[in-house]
Structure 1
Amino acid sequence: MTKKNINEMSFLDHLEDLRWHLIRSTLAIVIVGTVAFIFSRALFRLIIFAPLEMSFPTYRLLCKTAQFFNIESTFCGEELPMIIQSRTMAGQFSADIWTSITAGFVIAFPYVIYQFWKFISPGLHDDERKHSRGFIIASSLLFFIGVLFGYYVVCPLSINFLANYNISEVVDNQIDIGSYIGLVRSTALASGFIFELPIVIYFLTKIGLVTPLFLRKYRKYALVIVLILSAIITPPDVASQIIVAIPVLILYEISIYISKIVIRNQERKIKKDVRTR
Structure 2
Amino acid sequence: MAEELDEMTVIEHIKELRKRIIYILIVFVACLIVGLFFANPIYKYLIHAEPAQGFVLHAFSFWDGIGMYMKISMIFSLVVTLPFTIFQLWLFVSPGLRPVERRAALRFVPYVFLLFLLGVAFSYYIVFPMALSFTTSITKSMGLEETYGMAQYFNFMFNIVLPLALLFELPLIVMFLTKIRILNPIRLRKMRRFAYFVLVFVAVVITPPDFISDFLVSIPLLLLFEFSIFLSSVVYRKQLAADSEFEASYTQAAEE
Specify the TM-score bucket, using the shorter chain as the normaliser: 0.7 to 0.9
Q: How does 1:153-164 map to 2 (within 5 A)?
A: 153-164=126-137
The answer to whether the 8 Å contact 2:38/2:73 transfers is no
- The superposition leaves residues 196-227 of structure 1 with CA deviations (integer Å, 9 ceiling, x where unpaired) of 11233245446765432221123234334434
The reply on whether 1:212 has 2:160 as its aligned counterpart is no
The reply on whether 1:93 has 2:66 as its aligned counterpart is yes
- The superposition leaves residues 51-87 of structure 1 with CA deviations (integer Å, 9 ceiling, x where unpaired) of 5444xxxxxxxxxxxxxxxxxxxxxxxx24xx42222
> In 2 relative to 1, CA 97–117 (structure 1 residues): closer, same or farther, beyond 3 Å?
same
Amino acid at match of 2:95: P
TM-score by length of structure 1 reads 0.72
Aligned to 1:15: 14
Amino acid at match of 1:136: V
The reply on whether 1:189 has 2:162 as its aligned counterpart is yes
The answer to whether the 8 Å contact 2:64/2:151 transfers is yes
Deviates more, 1:141-150 or 1:267-276: 267-276
CA–CA separation in structure 1 for the residues paired with 2:215 and 2:36: 36
- The superposition leaves residues 232-257 of structure 1 with CA deviations (integer Å, 9 ceiling, x where unpaired) of 4267345x555544433332123223
> In 2 relative to 1, CA 11–126 (structure 1 residues): closer, same or farther, beyond 3 Å?
same
Q: Which runs of 5+ in 1 are unaligned?
A: 1-6, 55-78
Amino acid at match of 1:91: D
- The superposition leaves residues 167-194 of structure 1 with CA deviations (integer Å, 9 ceiling, x where unpaired) of 743x433333322222222222111111
Amino acid at match of 2:92: F
Secondary structure class of the residue paired with 2:69: helix
Aligned to 2:36: 37
> In 2 relative to 1, CA 262–138 (structure 1 residues): closer, same or farther, beyond 3 Å?
farther
The counterpart of 1:108, out of the listed 81, 85, 109, is 81
CA–CA separation in structure 2 for the residues paired with 1:231 and 1:34: 34
Secondary structure class of the residue paired with 1:253: helix
Q: How does 1:72-151 map to 2 (within 5 A)?
A: 79-80=54-55, 83-151=56-124
RMSD: 3.3
Amino acid at match of 1:16: K
The answer to whether the 8 Å contact 2:156/2:208 transfers is no
The reply on whether 1:265 has 2:239 as its aligned counterpart is yes
CA–CA separation in structure 2 for the residues paired with 1:143 and 1:111: 14
Count residues with an aligned counterpart.
243
> In 2 relative to 1, CA 128–222 (structure 1 residues): closer, same or farther, beyond 3 Å?
closer
State the percentage of identical aligned residues.
26
CA–CA separation in structure 2 for the residues paired with 1:20 and 1:112: 12
CA–CA separation in structure 1 for the residues paired with 2:52 and 2:14: 47
Question: Displacement of 1:38 after TM fit?
Answer: 1.0
CA–CA separation in structure 1 for the residues paired with 2:97 and 2:209: 42
CA–CA separation in structure 2 for the residues paired with 1:153 and 1:234: 16
The answer to whether the 8 Å contact 1:150/1:191 transfers is yes
The answer to whether the 8 Å contact 2:116/2:165 transfers is yes
The answer to whether the 8 Å contact 1:211/1:263 transfers is no
Q: Which runs of 5+ in 2 are unaligned?
A: 1-5
